Amino acid sequence: MIRNAMIRNAMIVMPLLALPLTACTGNADKPNAAASSTSAAPSAVAPPSAAASPTAQAPDGQKELRQAVLAYSDAFLDAKPTVAYDLFSARCKDRVTLSEFTGMLAAAKQIYGKAMPLKTFDAQISGDLARATYTYDVPALNQTKEPWVREDGKWKQDDC
Protein backbone atom coordinates (compact mmCIF):
# COMPACT_ATOMS: atom_id res chain seq x y z
CA MET A 1 0.00 0.00 0.00
CA ILE A 2 0.95 3.60 -0.42
CA ARG A 3 2.67 5.07 2.60
CA ASN A 4 2.18 8.68 3.78
CA ALA A 5 5.50 9.79 2.27
CA MET A 6 4.47 8.40 -1.09
CA ILE A 7 1.12 10.19 -0.85
CA ARG A 8 2.89 13.47 -0.12
CA ASN A 9 5.15 12.91 -3.14
CA ALA A 10 2.10 12.09 -5.24
CA MET A 11 0.55 15.42 -4.19
CA ILE A 12 3.55 17.20 -5.68
CA VAL A 13 3.66 15.14 -8.87
CA MET A 14 -0.08 14.80 -9.52
CA PRO A 15 -0.63 18.41 -10.64
CA LEU A 16 2.03 17.85 -13.27
CA LEU A 17 0.14 14.83 -14.56
CA ALA A 18 -3.50 14.60 -15.48
CA LEU A 19 -5.13 14.77 -12.05
CA PRO A 20 -7.86 12.14 -11.66
CA LEU A 21 -10.79 12.59 -9.29
CA THR A 22 -9.30 10.10 -6.88
CA ALA A 23 -7.40 10.98 -3.75
CA CYS A 24 -4.71 8.46 -4.55
CA THR A 25 -4.06 5.91 -7.22
CA GLY A 26 -3.83 2.19 -6.77
CA ASN A 27 -2.79 -0.98 -8.55
CA ALA A 28 -5.23 -1.86 -11.35
CA ASP A 29 -4.90 -5.53 -10.42
CA LYS A 30 -6.43 -4.93 -6.99
CA PRO A 31 -10.24 -4.90 -6.70
CA ASN A 32 -10.35 -1.50 -4.93
CA ALA A 33 -8.35 0.35 -7.58
CA ALA A 34 -9.82 2.44 -10.37
CA ALA A 35 -8.35 3.03 -13.78
CA SER A 36 -8.45 6.56 -15.12
CA SER A 37 -7.50 8.27 -18.33
CA THR A 38 -4.12 9.94 -18.60
CA SER A 39 -5.00 12.26 -21.47
CA ALA A 40 -4.02 15.89 -21.21
CA ALA A 41 -6.80 18.25 -20.17
CA PRO A 42 -8.03 20.90 -22.61
CA SER A 43 -8.07 24.52 -21.45
CA ALA A 44 -11.85 25.03 -21.64
CA VAL A 45 -13.89 24.34 -18.52
CA ALA A 46 -17.59 23.48 -18.73
CA PRO A 47 -20.33 24.80 -16.38
CA PRO A 48 -20.94 23.18 -12.95
CA SER A 49 -22.46 19.71 -12.82
CA ALA A 50 -25.74 20.98 -11.41
CA ALA A 51 -26.72 21.28 -15.08
CA ALA A 52 -26.27 17.54 -15.59
CA SER A 53 -29.61 15.78 -15.94
CA PRO A 54 -30.51 13.00 -13.48
CA THR A 55 -30.72 9.39 -14.61
CA ALA A 56 -34.26 8.46 -15.64
CA GLN A 57 -35.64 5.09 -14.49
CA ALA A 58 -32.36 4.23 -12.74
CA PRO A 59 -32.07 0.71 -11.24
CA ASP A 60 -31.93 0.28 -7.46
CA GLY A 61 -29.18 2.46 -6.02
CA GLN A 62 -28.16 4.02 -9.35
CA LYS A 63 -29.80 7.38 -8.67
CA GLU A 64 -28.29 7.67 -5.19
CA LEU A 65 -24.87 6.59 -6.45
CA ARG A 66 -24.99 9.11 -9.30
CA GLN A 67 -25.91 11.86 -6.83
CA ALA A 68 -22.97 10.89 -4.60
CA VAL A 69 -20.60 10.86 -7.60
CA LEU A 70 -21.80 14.33 -8.62
CA ALA A 71 -21.48 15.66 -5.08
CA TYR A 72 -17.96 14.24 -4.73
CA SER A 73 -16.93 15.51 -8.16
CA ASP A 74 -18.28 19.01 -7.51
CA ALA A 75 -16.63 19.23 -4.08
CA PHE A 76 -13.34 17.85 -5.45
CA LEU A 77 -13.15 20.25 -8.39
CA ASP A 78 -14.47 23.25 -6.44
CA ALA A 79 -11.84 22.60 -3.73
CA LYS A 80 -14.28 21.97 -0.89
CA PRO A 81 -12.16 19.47 1.05
CA THR A 82 -14.42 18.89 4.04
CA VAL A 83 -17.43 18.23 1.78
CA ALA A 84 -15.48 15.84 -0.47
CA TYR A 85 -13.75 14.18 2.49
CA ASP A 86 -17.15 13.47 4.03
CA LEU A 87 -17.92 11.48 0.85
CA PHE A 88 -14.76 9.40 1.36
CA SER A 89 -15.12 5.87 2.77
CA ALA A 90 -13.92 5.14 6.30
CA ARG A 91 -11.18 2.96 4.79
CA CYS A 92 -9.91 5.87 2.69
CA LYS A 93 -10.05 8.28 5.63
CA ASP A 94 -7.74 5.88 7.48
CA ARG A 95 -5.26 6.08 4.59
CA VAL A 96 -5.39 9.74 3.55
CA THR A 97 -5.54 12.63 6.03
CA LEU A 98 -7.78 15.64 5.48
CA SER A 99 -4.62 17.77 5.21
CA GLU A 100 -3.20 15.62 2.39
CA PHE A 101 -6.58 15.52 0.69
CA THR A 102 -6.91 19.31 0.90
CA GLY A 103 -3.64 19.72 -1.01
CA MET A 104 -4.91 17.48 -3.79
CA LEU A 105 -8.14 19.43 -4.11
CA ALA A 106 -6.27 22.74 -4.24
CA ALA A 107 -4.18 21.37 -7.12
CA ALA A 108 -7.31 20.16 -8.96
CA LYS A 109 -8.96 23.57 -8.59
CA GLN A 110 -5.85 25.28 -9.93
CA ILE A 111 -5.71 22.95 -12.96
CA TYR A 112 -9.41 22.58 -13.81
CA GLY A 113 -10.98 25.70 -12.33
CA LYS A 114 -14.38 24.47 -11.19
CA ALA A 115 -16.91 21.67 -11.20
CA MET A 116 -18.24 20.49 -14.53
CA PRO A 117 -21.15 18.33 -15.66
CA LEU A 118 -20.85 14.63 -16.25
CA LYS A 119 -20.97 13.67 -19.90
CA THR A 120 -21.81 10.01 -19.23
CA PHE A 121 -22.47 7.86 -16.18
CA ASP A 122 -22.75 4.09 -15.73
CA ALA A 123 -22.47 1.92 -12.64
CA GLN A 124 -22.50 -1.71 -11.66
CA ILE A 125 -23.94 -2.22 -8.17
CA SER A 126 -23.67 -5.42 -6.14
CA GLY A 127 -25.14 -5.00 -2.68
CA ASP A 128 -23.18 -2.28 -0.88
CA LEU A 129 -20.35 -2.21 -3.45
CA ALA A 130 -20.33 -0.42 -6.77
CA ARG A 131 -18.07 0.45 -9.69
CA ALA A 132 -18.85 3.78 -11.34
CA THR A 133 -17.65 4.81 -14.78
CA TYR A 134 -18.17 8.44 -15.70
CA THR A 135 -16.80 10.94 -18.18
CA TYR A 136 -16.42 14.67 -18.66
CA ASP A 137 -15.53 16.98 -21.53
CA VAL A 138 -12.03 16.87 -19.98
CA PRO A 139 -10.75 13.31 -20.62
CA ALA A 140 -8.13 13.53 -17.85
CA LEU A 141 -10.97 13.53 -15.30
CA ASN A 142 -12.73 10.43 -16.65
CA GLN A 143 -13.09 7.55 -14.22
CA THR A 144 -13.38 3.87 -15.14
CA LYS A 145 -14.82 1.38 -12.64
CA GLU A 146 -14.13 3.68 -9.70
CA PRO A 147 -14.93 1.82 -6.46
CA TRP A 148 -17.74 3.07 -4.22
CA VAL A 149 -19.10 1.54 -1.02
CA ARG A 150 -22.38 2.12 0.79
CA GLU A 151 -21.74 2.94 4.47
CA ASP A 152 -24.65 3.66 6.82
CA GLY A 153 -26.94 3.87 3.78
CA LYS A 154 -24.82 6.47 1.94
CA TRP A 155 -22.48 5.97 -1.03
CA LYS A 156 -18.83 6.79 -0.31
CA GLN A 157 -15.91 7.08 -2.73
CA ASP A 158 -13.53 4.17 -2.01
CA ASP A 159 -10.59 4.71 -4.37
CA CYS A 160 -7.55 5.13 -2.16
Ranking 56-60, 89-93, 106-110, 113-117 by mean pLDDT, the lowest is 56-60
34-51 average pLDDT score? 36
> What is the distance between the alpha carbons of residues 100 and 23, in angstroms, rounded to a whole number?
9
24 near 7, Cβ under 8 Å?
Answer: yes
Q: Are 10 and 103 in contact (CB under 8 A)?
A: no
pLDDT-based confidence at residue 9 (cuts at 50, 70, 90): very low
Q: What pLDDT shows up at residue 68?
A: 98
Q: In the predicted model, what is the mean pLDDT of residues 5-25?
A: 39
Q: What are the boundaries of each domain within the chain?
A: 59-160
pLDDT band at 21 (very low <50, low <70, confident <90, very high): low
Contact 115, 79 (CB under 8 A): no
Burial 141-159 (b: 16+ CB within 10 A, else e): bbbbbbbbbbeeeebbbbb
Condensed to tens digits (0 to 9), the pLDDT of residues 105-129 reads 999 999 999 999 999 999 999 999 9
Higher pLDDT, 97 or 56: 97
Quickly name the fold that domain 59-160 has.
Nuclear Transport Factor 2; Chain: A, (3.10.450)
